[in-house]
Amino acid sequence: MSETPLRILIVDDEAPARRRLRDVLSDSSAALPLTVVGEASNGKEAIAQLEASKPHVLLLDIRMPVMDGIETAEHLLKLEPAPAVIFTTAYDDYAIQAFEVNAIDYLLKPIRPERLIAALQKARALTATRMEALKSAAGKARTHISIGDRGRILLVPLADVVFLKAELKYVTVRTLEKEYLLEESLVKLEQEFTERFVRIHRNCLLARDYIEGFERVDHDPEEGEGAGSGWVARIRGMAERLPVSRRQQHIIKEFKR
C-alpha cells in the first residue's frame, strides 16, 4: 500500500526562492512521497490558505513583510493538529526563536536536498498527538490575535482590538465592528501586550489608543445605585462606557497629564 504524500505549503516572499524549493522537492519526490499544495509570499497569506490546502508541513521563510515566519508559527500552534514547520532562511540568528515555536528543523539557504529530505522525514514521523504535546507559549509579542474557529484561524490585527474582557473561561476580544471569543488568560495577555493595553478593571484591559477620556458618573458602576460616584472610560468610536474599578482609578491621573 502506497504512502500518503506529504502535503507541503511553501512560504517565502521571494519568487525565485519558492521556485528553488519546488525544484528541490521535485527532485526529491522519489525518496519521499510529497506534493506541493500551494505557495504564499508571507505568513498572513499562508494562514489564509490553510483551510483549503490542508498542509502537513510548511516550509517557512523568516524575514517576510506583513507577517514574519516566527509569528506565523506562533499562530499555527493554535491548530489541532498543528502542521509541522521547517524554517528555510538565509539567516542563522533566529534559531532559538525557531525552536521556541516548535520548528522541526532550521535550514539555511541554499537548501541542500539531503537536509531537506531529512527534515521532511522527521516531519512525517511527528504525529499529531506529539505535536499537541509540544505546544508552548512563545515569547515574542504578536501583531495579530489568532482566534480558533472550527478548525480555522481568524487573524484579528492587534491594532483593531479596543478591549479584552474576561468572561468565565473565555476572553472577549472586542473591535469596533465585532467581538470574538478567545481561550487565553487575561493575565498572560496583559503581560504580553503591556505597552498597548491598560487594566481598568480586574476583568478588562482597554487599548490605550482607544481611550477618549474618563468621566465621573453619579453611581459606582460596580456597586449600582446608591453606592456613591464612580468612573467610566469613554472609548473612541464606540458609545459603550467601561467601568473603572476603584483599585485602577490611578490610571485616570496618568491620562490627565
pLDDT tens sequence across 18-72: 999 999 999 887 788 899 999 999 999 999 998 888 899 999 999 999 999 999 9
Q: How many domains, the chain?
A: 2
Domain assignment of residue 142, yes or no: no
Give residue 178's pLDDT: 93
Residue 129 shares a structural domain with residue 15: yes
Residue 108 shares a structural domain with residue 173: no
Domain assignment of residue 149, yes or no: no
**Residues of the domain holding 220:** 161-256
Distance between CA 28 and CA 45 in Å, rounded?
26
Give residue 2's pLDDT: 55
Distance between CA 69 and CA 190 in Å, rounded?
24
Distance between CA 21 and CA 123 in Å, rounded?
17
Residue 185 shares a structural domain with residue 240: yes
Give residue 133's pLDDT: 47
Domain assignment of residue 1, yes or no: no
pLDDT, mean of residues 165-176: 93
Question: Is pLDDT above 90 for 256?
Answer: no
What's the CATH code of the domain at 55? Answer: 3.40.50.2300
248-to-35, 151, 239, 251 alpha-carbon distances in Å: 55, 38, 21, 6
Which pLDDT band, with edges at 50, 70 and 90, does 220 fall under? low
Residue 36 shares a structural domain with residue 122: yes
